[in-house]
Amino acid sequence: MADEIHEECGVIGVFNGNKALDLAVLGLHALQHRGQESAGVAVSDGRAIHSYRSLGLVATMARKTKRFMELKGHICIGHTRYSTTGTSNLINSQPILIDYKRGQLAVAHNGNLINADTLRSDMEEQGSIFQSTNDSEVFLHLIARSKKPSLVEMIAESLKKVKGAFSLLFLSENELFAARDPHGVRPLCLGVLDKKTAVVASETCALDIMGARYVRDIEPSELVCISSKGIQSFRFAPPGKKAHCIFEYIYFSRPDSRIFNHSVDRLRRAFGHELAREHPAKADIVISVPDSSNTAALGYAHASGIPFEIGLIRNHYVGRTFISPAQGDREAKVKLKFNPVRGVLKNRRIVLVEDSIVRGTTLRQLVSLIRNAGAKEIHIRVSSPPIKFPCYYGMDFPSFDELIANNKTIEETRQFLGVDSLGHLSINGLRKCMQEEPNNYCYACFSGAYPLGALKTSKNIFENRKKQRT
Amino acid sequence: MADEIHEECGVIGVFNGNKALDLAVLGLHALQHRGQESAGVAVSDGRAIHSYRSLGLVATMARKTKRFMELKGHICIGHTRYSTTGTSNLINSQPILIDYKRGQLAVAHNGNLINADTLRSDMEEQGSIFQSTNDSEVFLHLIARSKKPSLVEMIAESLKKVKGAFSLLFLSENELFAARDPHGVRPLCLGVLDKKTAVVASETCALDIMGARYVRDIEPSELVCISSKGIQSFRFAPPGKKAHCIFEYIYFSRPDSRIFNHSVDRLRRAFGHELAREHPAKADIVISVPDSSNTAALGYAHASGIPFEIGLIRNHYVGRTFISPAQGDREAKVKLKFNPVRGVLKNRRIVLVEDSIVRGTTLRQLVSLIRNAGAKEIHIRVSSPPIKFPCYYGMDFPSFDELIANNKTIEETRQFLGVDSLGHLSINGLRKCMQEEPNNYCYACFSGAYPLGALKTSKNIFENRKKQRT
Amino acid sequence: MADEIHEECGVIGVFNGNKALDLAVLGLHALQHRGQESAGVAVSDGRAIHSYRSLGLVATMARKTKRFMELKGHICIGHTRYSTTGTSNLINSQPILIDYKRGQLAVAHNGNLINADTLRSDMEEQGSIFQSTNDSEVFLHLIARSKKPSLVEMIAESLKKVKGAFSLLFLSENELFAARDPHGVRPLCLGVLDKKTAVVASETCALDIMGARYVRDIEPSELVCISSKGIQSFRFAPPGKKAHCIFEYIYFSRPDSRIFNHSVDRLRRAFGHELAREHPAKADIVISVPDSSNTAALGYAHASGIPFEIGLIRNHYVGRTFISPAQGDREAKVKLKFNPVRGVLKNRRIVLVEDSIVRGTTLRQLVSLIRNAGAKEIHIRVSSPPIKFPCYYGMDFPSFDELIANNKTIEETRQFLGVDSLGHLSINGLRKCMQEEPNNYCYACFSGAYPLGALKTSKNIFENRKKQRT
Amino acid sequence: MADEIHEECGVIGVFNGNKALDLAVLGLHALQHRGQESAGVAVSDGRAIHSYRSLGLVATMARKTKRFMELKGHICIGHTRYSTTGTSNLINSQPILIDYKRGQLAVAHNGNLINADTLRSDMEEQGSIFQSTNDSEVFLHLIARSKKPSLVEMIAESLKKVKGAFSLLFLSENELFAARDPHGVRPLCLGVLDKKTAVVASETCALDIMGARYVRDIEPSELVCISSKGIQSFRFAPPGKKAHCIFEYIYFSRPDSRIFNHSVDRLRRAFGHELAREHPAKADIVISVPDSSNTAALGYAHASGIPFEIGLIRNHYVGRTFISPAQGDREAKVKLKFNPVRGVLKNRRIVLVEDSIVRGTTLRQLVSLIRNAGAKEIHIRVSSPPIKFPCYYGMDFPSFDELIANNKTIEETRQFLGVDSLGHLSINGLRKCMQEEPNNYCYACFSGAYPLGALKTSKNIFENRKKQRT
């Protein structure tokens, strides 16, 4: 299930807001789905930048602690992060705040670089030290080393050197910068709240909650500088071939967001339509694996004419419950999370819509739950193609070997899941939904065709990156 | 919205389970929706009973603390509670464990007595002391004072004296007792896990998660004693007129539960059907206030032929976020909780299905949110009649004066909410859905007709009950 | 060492103070040494009593939590408690607050009853229930059952029925009561702060910190009622033979307190003098086991003419450090607590003054530490006789069988400790220090002669009392 | 009082210990007095280094958290730190662990550099970034930039560039390094536990608790490398003029430690002797401000022949109690901390020995407390000269302007404190106690003569350093 896939970040920036920090916290709440392991903000009052980071949810960070309450300023950036390592880790949380030759600088980053390790090794050779395993620290080193006369040029020069996916915010004492990689892999949008308040966010849902008006996306290769002089736009590189992450539509982004110029909800629905066309089913009802597959399931229902039903209810209290192996049967964990509605499922032929399959183990237990609730037939329809390749641009899959699509054929997977039929939306189906612009997207996790190239790394460096710090 | 109404409790009991405590914790997780303020268990190993209670969720209680890990035994009762007072309060949490003349006894209670204060005053006159404001303490005093020769008779004698709603579990060193008031106001069901393990729970969803098989409901007026001799059934009083709480169907119980012999999901759907018949609407889509109104909305959609859509997405991370008045506009709080999907709502005529209206203030903000997302028309359909009267049997409404139905006509409420039309399911409509047995239910919060009588209390006593303790 | 002996409580009461709660918290801080497991207060504003209790130190309780900050009133009682069971336990903390026929009543108790179990069993037979294993609950039951017309008479009647040691405070909506058992086992004193503020406390050190003036001790058999009518004194029983706990002087009370009409410091010093007379030593220096034996060691030094030195420094940061068996040698724990000053100890013949010996195991490790620091000879001098008997009046020793004096002769103990000589102050020596009033004290833990009689209990009841609750 | 002065750090290192981490934690406990704001460790298993840091005491860090329990390895360094900024700050805690060109490196530092800001600015100009305000980060940058072929040479080269006080530990994957500045300002000693385990610590008391044998001090200008090849010694610079911090003897170090080749206890006692000679008093008793002045007070007592008494008892439970201004009088805070023993003080002429005076405000309240306890005369004797100058080598005084000696003459101070006489040990007296080597010490905080030079800093840089981070 897609909740085994993790985006690494959401970012937010507020310039000149009367209540910049309050607004940023609101915005971070709206971006909570992009990372729940740590949250942080950096705020400038025009003279100095202060930062505050904590493990856990945005609500945990924004508690009325003495230190949090002391933060003040009119420019703020914020970050919410999913830790890719097992153990969470404050030193890897963001924004990172540094002193460098021109004063202070903070960075918040969403995405993943493919030449970070090379750049890092080079800079280490030249005497640099690294305190985190964040790509973001690489940006800061590059900027600090730049000999350009202005900060905007220093940033631009640095961005030219990195390869990979980045939607970035920088905060200096008096300026807010926003930049997006030449391929536009991750979303980033600009909005205004009132005459003097500009905001930048990973998704438009953050603009909505702040009461800001969407202006436009930050363009691929664009570097925007927001200061008292207004909003200035620069190009740090020629625009590359567009490669927006299709998974933002499939699972990551909130359905009420508009990213890459499309409504997430509308596309997720279109995937359901197309899925119904590609893989029809003789069934009594369509149900979804809540909540992320709801929209695709609705799409499937509408296109197929099979009624949509709520057959599984998600238990939102559960959190990180400790369940000992002894507690009930093997399925206790999935039972804690999903409640099958027997009255809906009993004696029915069911289409179960899921947004993606990763390992398949949880889905298998869910199928068994639905079976036990009396379902007559179960037909799984997945609104994305089989995931077969790692993402080097900011998604965190379970270990490559654990991906079921690398170990089993569709038929073997069907048997493993114990369902009557299994159908995935095809890559072509997906492309069809994108209408006139199918080539503007990255489908690498399905196809293995990496538009920005694969990760440049070496075994040794990878070893180094596994170290723990606090 | 119904989330301003609180049930006071969920109860669970496990007899002779190899992993009685683990099972009870699983069951409590499934009953978490019935109370999130405190959770507790009492466990007997046949010689002594130990108890553990804590404020917060079941997951908080079941952390691997030294004291929790030390609990052991083969009989267990558990409780989850919504505190009716503003500040939560450990001394009012359950189970309550006492010493009395026959050893130890623990109690877990769902419901509300109407003669608790009278009984309490009488016993106080005779020299009793009370340490909590729980009705449950009244049961324990009555039992401890009974002169009957056996515990089952002592309990039976005591239950005869109380009036009101109670689904009760008692735990002695070697026995588990379950009882239900003569009117069967609150649900309580019996299940078996294997040959030697019997379980009792407020709702069947708890049976499902434990892997137990539903056997039957505990009957009104029934007292069941589960011991090494098996399951014995007694009647402590002649059965009264049935008065099952209709609100269990409307909002409280989980849709995947079967209570009062009906599937909650099926009835909630029927309410939607009937609502569509009573209050049709010319609209493009039907949406619900998630998650509690989803099923009724589906029912409305099916009956009306208007397509069901997901127009609001509920943010489950939010928890008890602190939002200062300064943070964004007045609607920030409802914005944090609900995300309107603009693509779904824009330029649409919308039927918004809600399960109930209490104060109307949150709903009003939600309407404004939907308006701002571009909805052309909003037609609110409520799957329950206007709430006008207090519940004396275990529901906790906001202050009587705050109920919007006591202050405004339907038309005034419509204007207050700022919607194009407003329709409530009628009491008759509700009764119709109950088919051959409409008189088996309590509709007092809508009608003011109290089948068990109103609360017997006095101003002074009420004052006393407001005191805080830890 | 005496820190293996625990007093069960300290109590404080403030009447009519402008800042009654603040004063009580200050006073509780001064009584922290009498109990560190839980702390609590009950406050009345004249109409209702609210209480707040928490596990841990007074500082933990008095944190600025929402609930604590909400407490208000002009009459307050407070309590600090050492839990006698391994696991701490909120339900056994005090003050206990109840509802009874006349309204509310709270109690805070220092001491131990010898007929609590009998009274408890009797009341249970008559239908009472008990929620804690506190003797204090017994008082409340007795009062609630009294048929006397006024509260002061109800309390007086109840106190007549209990046997044992009690220094008690009661709080009703408008009155503060203080009472002391007929033998005056535990201390309790009265002070005034200004014209309208009266205070009661276990020790005068609490008066000092509140800025109150000591007026007099609450007398044995006295019941004092402090109300808007002033301070009224009653006798609830004829005064018994005085039996002040001699251990209050030896170890429990703070040296800066004045209890039982004597300065603790002066007597502790006298014990040292007498110890030097009874057990002289040829030594170079006198050192103490800090901090509780400092005063006695000074007394020994002065009387013997041997210079007092600081040879051990106590590490106060240590708290409840977890030390795995693997961490260093067996003596790590005592090493963490005491730092031997090599320069002082090396090549010296040392008199080590300790206030009491319980099990002897820690002292043995301390001796080894001193040896390793180069001491030439070690002569232990103990400012109390060997502890051989349990205390039924409020002290909590380790298990009876663990007392070294019950297992070994003085000579065997000396060998076990590995010291050159060992001398205990004799009972007669102790009595001599009390000058004209040696018979006013209880020496039962040394002599086995129990002035109030021994604990009346039965095996079964004792079993019951071991149960855990929260 | 000296508790207003803070040392910034204690350091510990263990090489090849079977239980390196356990030993380091024990050692850190013994160094807890050198810093209570944060604690941390870095451990190498020969392949990778992992670190763990937390705010608060060593006991807080060493709790059995999942992450702490996972640390393993045979080489470990540890650090305990007093935060100089008001708000504590995890990013400034130590050890700092970095990646650099040769792998990983961790550092733990005690002391203060005087050219850190210059070095920092230079490196920032060259493109370096700084994430903390620690001097320690400067060392890491210097090492990472070194072009020398071996790590030991890289470290040596770097140490040559820094000026100021440093007792340093470095940890690489396979080596433990210890270094001390050419003036030997802060202590650092070497010990062995068994044939294969070497340890390094700020004070010998840490050796004692680990069961290690003291070998020798790390010499000024010495760089020691402990590896599987044994212990190798290098000189990174010619030895400078010795400038051991005299305040280590006066207040910082534990009396049971031996530093700079002398027992702390013995010298603290000598200060008391000399103080008695310089400032005799006609008094009945000598008391100390516990616990730090105990030894000096004993020295005064012995030299003067006036008996030593315990007139103040320190309350160790108090911690960071919140006392509202409303709670009792202005003196409540000092009252919570110190209990005057009336029986000792009443009608006596008292010599009160204190180790140092900083602001004088707390001492003034303490004097008032002693007066109220009935003292007839109070003569303050201070075992150090008046503090008039800031320390640039690792001590943290309150703001320069707040030092009473900069605002008042001795006579004015006497009046301010409200005592009958006031005498400070003179610088000459202090020097006399150091016997043949008075010039080996730094007295700059008294004399203003800075043996290593004053801090090189600029206003701007100082501004930068005040920023907060987490």
Reported as a single tens digit per residue, the pLDDT across A234-247 is: 999 998 999 999 99
Measure the CA–CA gap between C89 and B4, rounded to whole angstroms: 34
Contact D99 A129 (CB under 8 A): yes
Query: Is A455 domain-assigned?
Result: no
- With CA atoms as reference, report the closest residue to D74 among D108, D107, D95, D46: D46
The answer to whether C203 touches C31, Cβ cutoff 8 Å, is: yes
Which among C13, C236, C23 is positioned nearest to C110, based on CA atoms? C13
CB B424 within 8 A of CB B410: yes
Q: What is the mean pLDDT of chain A?
A: 89
The pLDDT confidence band at residue C329, using thresholds 50, 70 and 90, is: low
Instruction: Give per-residue pLDDT as tens, C428-437.
Output: 999 999 998 9
With beta carbons under 8 A apart, name residues in chain A contacting B302: 307
Residue by residue, DSSP assigns C108-152 as EEES-BSSHHHHHHHHHHTT--B-SS-THHHHHHHHHH---SSHH
Q: How many CB pairs under 8 A join B and C?
A: 124
Over residues D142-162, the mean pLDDT reads 97
The alpha-carbon gap from D93 to the nearest alpha carbon of chain A, in Å, equals 10
Q: Which of B175, B176, B182, B137 is nearest to B159 (CA)?
A: B182
Q: Which residues of C touch D309 (CB under 8 A)?
A: 298
Judge whether B456 and B114 are in contact, CB under 8 Å: yes
Helix (H) or strand (E) holding B377: strand B377-382
What pLDDT is stored for residue D456 in this prediction? 59
Q: What does the mean pLDDT of chain C come to?
A: 89
Which amino acid would we find at residue B362? T
In this structure, the answer to whether residues B290 and B339 fall within a common structural domain is yes
| Pair of tokens at residue D300 | 């005064």
DSSP structure class, residue B291: T
Is A33 in Cβ contact with B322 (below 8 Å)? no
Residues A189 and A305 in one domain: no
Distance CA B406, CA D302 (A): 86
Q: Check whether residue A207 and residue A317 sit in a common domain.
A: no
Cis ω before C239 (30° cut-off from 0): no
pLDDT of residue A456: 59
Give the mean pLDDT of D426-451. Answer: 95
- With a CB cutoff of 8 Å and minimum separation 6, the contacts of B448 are B388, B389
Q: At what angle do helices D294-304 and D264-278 cross, to 10 degrees?
A: 50
Contact A104 D464 (CB under 8 A): yes
Q: Answer yes or no: is B129 within a domain.
A: yes
Last residue of a domain, one of C243, C277, C298: C243
Measured CA distances, C210 to B464, C12, D319 (Å): 32, 11, 19
CB A467 within 8 A of CB A87: no
Q: Which of B186, B217, B243 lies at the terminal end of a domain, its last residue?
A: B243
* Selection from A266, A253, A309, A193 nearest residue B346 by Cα: A266
C194 Cβ neighbours under 8 A, 6+ residues apart: none
Q: What percentage of chain A has pLDDT greater than the value 70?
A: 91
Residue A325 is encoded by which pair of tokens?
């192996």
Taking CA–CA distances from B256, the nearest residue in chain A reads: A341
The alpha carbon dihedral of B293, B295, B298, B302 has a sign of negative
Residues 6+ apart with CB under 8 A from C288: C294, C296, C297, C298, C312, C352, C353, C354
Q: Which two tokens stand for residue D365?
A: 């309240």
C334 and C270 assigned to the same domain: yes
Which conformational region is residue C221 in: left (phi greater than 0), alpha (psi within -120 to 50 degrees), or beta?
Answer: left
- The rounded distance, in Å, linking the Cα atoms of C255 and B288 is 70
Q: Does a structural domain hold residue D399?
A: yes
CA distance D22 to D14: 10
pLDDT tens-digit series, residues A254-268: 999 999 999 999 999
Instruction: Write out the two tokens for C79.
Output: 């309590």
The pair of three-digit structure tokens given for residue B173, joined into one six-digit string: 């060193």
Query: Residue D159's pLDDT is what?
Result: 97
Global pTM reads: 0.89
The CATH number that applies at residue B171 is: 3.60.20.10
Q: What angle do CA B205, B207, B208 make, to 5 degrees?
A: 65
Distance of alpha carbon C380 from alpha carbon C397, whole angstroms: 21
Q: Is the pLDDT of residue A324 over 70?
A: no
Residues C339 and C376 placed together within one structural domain of the fold: yes
Residue C315 sits in the same domain as residue C195: no
Residues B83-120: tens digit of each pLDDT? 654 344 778 889 999 999 999 999 999 999 999 989 99
Domain with C268 in it = 263-439
Residue D73 banded pLDDT, cuts 50, 70, 90:
very high
Other CB atoms within a 10 A radius of the CB of residue D163 amount to 20
pLDDT category, C62, cuts 50, 70, 90?
Answer: confident
Task: Tell me which residue of D154, D79, D145, D153 sits closest to D109, measured CA to CA.
Answer: D79
Return the sign of the alpha-carbon dihedral for residues A341, A344, A349, A353: negative
> Inter-chain contact B59–A32, Cβ cutoff 8 Å?
no
Looking at every residue in chain D, the average pLDDT score rounds to 89
Q: B407 and B335 in one domain?
A: yes
Structural domains in chain A (count): 2
Both tokens of residue C287? 């050192």
Angle at the Cα of C394 (from C393 to C395), degrees rounded to 5? 110
CA distances for D418 relative to D286, D361, D405, D409, D451, angstroms:
18, 11, 16, 14, 36
Known catalytic residue at D9: yes
Using CB atoms within 10 A of its CB, is residue B69 exposed (0-12), middle (13-18) or buried (19+)?
exposed
Mutation target for A interface from B3, B14, B19, B26: give the one with most A CBs within 10 A: B26
Domain boundary among C243, C272, C290: C243
Residue A207 is assigned to a structural domain of this protein: yes
Asked whether residue C463 is assigned to any structural domain, the reply reads no
Nearest CA to D323 out of D314, D331, D333, D313 is that of D333
Are D308 and C298 inside 8 Å of each other by CB?
yes
My answer on whether A20 and A157 are in the same domain is yes
Q: Are residues C281 and C387 in the same domain?
A: yes
Kindly indicate the confidence band of residue A4, based on its pLDDT and cuts at 50, 70 and 90: low
> What is the CATH number for B397?
3.40.50.2020
pLDDT at D148 over 70: yes
Kindly tell me the sign of the dihedral angle through the C-alpha atoms of D304, D306, D312, D314: positive
Q: Tell me the C-alpha distance between C74 and C67, whole Å.
A: 17
Q: Is the pLDDT of residue D461 over 50?
A: no
Q: Is position B469 within any domain? A: no
Residues B232 and B362 in one domain: no
Kindly report the nearest CA distance between residue D300 and chain C, in angstroms. Answer: 12
Determine, yes or no, domain membership for C133. yes
Q: Report yes or no on D77 lying in a domain.
A: yes
Q: Spell out which residues of chain B touch residue A341, defining contact as CB-CB under 8 Å.
A: 255-256, 263, 265
State how beta strands B377-382 and B421-424 pair: parallel
Give the tens place of pLDDT for each residue, C286-314: 999 998 899 999 999 999 999 999 999 88
ipTM of the complex: 0.88
Chains with 3 or more CB pairs under 8 A to chain C:
B, D
In tens, the pLDDT along A42-78 reads 999 999 999 999 888 898 888 877 788 889 999 999 9
Query: Are both B177 and B295 inside the same structural domain?
Result: no
Q: Lowest mean pLDDT: which of A455-469, B92-106, B283-297, D6-20? A: A455-469
| CA nearest to C173, candidates C234, C105, C271, C241 | C105
pLDDT of residue D318: 57
D318/chain A closest Cα distance in angstroms: 21
Select from C57, C309, C313 the Cβ nearest to the Cβ of D254: C313
Q: Considering only CA atoms, which of A308, A305, A266 is closest in space to residue A287? A: A308
C414 and C372 fall within a common domain: yes
Structure tokens at A447: 């196809």
Chain D neighbours, 3+ Cβ pairs < 8 A: A, C
Query: Do you find a cis peptide bond into C95, omega within 30 degrees of 0?
Result: yes
Average pLDDT over residues C411-415: 98
Neighbouring chains of A at 3+ CB pairs within 8 Å?
Answer: B, D
Cis before D390 (ω within 30): no
Per-residue pLDDT of chain B (470 residues; tens, 9 = 90+): 545 666 679 999 999 887 899 999 999 999 999 988 889 999 999 999 999 998 888 988 888 777 888 899 999 999 998 765 434 477 888 999 999 999 999 999 999 999 998 999 999 999 999 998 888 899 999 999 999 999 999 999 999 999 999 999 999 999 999 999 999 999 999 999 988 899 999 999 999 999 999 999 999 999 999 999 999 999 999 989 999 999 999 999 999 999 999 999 999 999 999 999 999 999 999 999 998 899 999 999 999 999 999 999 888 765 544 444 444 455 677 888 898 998 899 999 999 999 999 989 889 999 999 999 999 999 999 999 999 998 989 887 777 788 999 999 999 999 999 999 999 999 999 999 999 899 999 999 999 999 998 875 543 333 344 333 44
Contact C78, C28 (CB under 8 A): yes
What are A14's two structure tokens? Answer: 């507020």
